[in-house]
Amino acid sequence: MDTASFCHTSGATALETRALTKDYLMGKERVRALDAVDFSATQGDFVVINGPSGSGKSTMLNLLALIDRPTSGEVLFLGEPTGALSEGGLAQLRRDQIGLVFQTFNLIPVLSAFENVEYPLLLTRTSRAERRRRVGALLEVVGLADFARRRPDELSGGQRQRVAVARALVTQPRVVLADEPTANLDSATGRQIMGLLQGLNQNHCVTFVVVTHDPAVAEYAGRVLAIRDGRFDSGAEHVDPAAS
Ligand SMILES: Nc1ncnc2c1ncn2[C@@H]1O[C@H](COP(=O)(O)OP(=O)(O)OP(=O)(O)O)[C@@H](O)[C@H]1O
Ligand SMILES: [Mg+2]
């Protein structure tokens, strides 16, 4: 399958890191979770970062998502450095340009599937009619049109993750970041979710960065990078999508 066929990118950089470093303080001890990482993803890329537990994947994702700040080095978003932005500026970028999918879904338990997907739009100036249209269309895409009124506890794990994927996409972000999107799913449901992300990447040219310890996720990637002890392996595998 030619995974690049629908997504003609300009080759512009969506996300880039320069010597990105993150230390955590454990009492008096410093733990270097990320060590001078240089990374870049172009618009329309589908990058999977693969590595064992504790290798720095969530640290990397939270820095790319502008949720955490680095100890040193920087994150560039759509070519723009983010280090000097205020909390408000970062929040605005997160809200308008970034979609997030978490390992644990992070849905709001008292809201229906529809309301969970709609929620990020309530923070924007999107009209009620437009909200309904977008949420309805996305629930359709993720195969949950008939489940719109159910609360998360009335849905299966895979259905909850599909709600989370729809929520991540509802603001039409340029970049979607996913932390272990298949970790709480059986392997068949995990494949379904990854197929869904792959389709969205191909058909809508959304840039995806997925971090996972699950080697099976790599088969959906345009590019696979291996992380270990906070560094990217120099011998990281490169998958040519046109050849798969
Ligand atoms: N808040 C924190 N305080 C101290 N150390 C931390 C903190 N968060 C992460 N670490 C440490 O940083 C390293 C990287 O952690 P990180 O959560 O990024 O790993 P990971 O690859 O996502 O692991 P997993 O696959 O288990 O989710 C680990 O050694 C971890 O113990
Ligand atoms: Mg993690």
Cα 69 from chain centre = 17
The predicted pLDDT at position 2 comes to 42
pLDDT tens string 29-79 = 999 999 999 999 999 999 999 999 999 999 999 999 999 999 999 999 999
Domain for residue 140, yes or no? yes
Is the Cβ atom of 73 under 6 angstroms away from ligand 1? no
Structural domain contains residue 52: yes
| CA distance to 60, 80, 144, 224, per residue, from 64 (Å) | 6, 13, 29, 17
Atom of ligand 1 at shortest distance to CA of 55?
21
With contact defined as beta carbons under 8 Å apart, do 157 and 208 qualify?
Answer: no
Q: Tell me the CATH number at 182.
A: 3.40.50.300
Q: Could you tell me if residue 166 is inside a domain?
A: yes
Cβ of 24 closer than 6 Å to ligand 1, yes or no, is yes
Number of domains in the chain: 1
217 belongs to a structural domain: yes
pLDDT tens digits, one per residue of 94-130: 999 999 998 888 999 999 999 999 999 998 899 999 9
* Any domain includes 211: yes
Give a yes or no: residue 134 inside a domain.
Answer: yes
Q: Residue 163's domain spans which residues?
A: 43-67+84-234
Pocket test residue of 24, 210, 228 for ligand 1, highest count of atoms within 8 A of CB: 24
**pTM, whole model, 2 decimals?**
0.89
Residue whose C-alpha is closest to residue 46's, from 165, 158, 176: 176
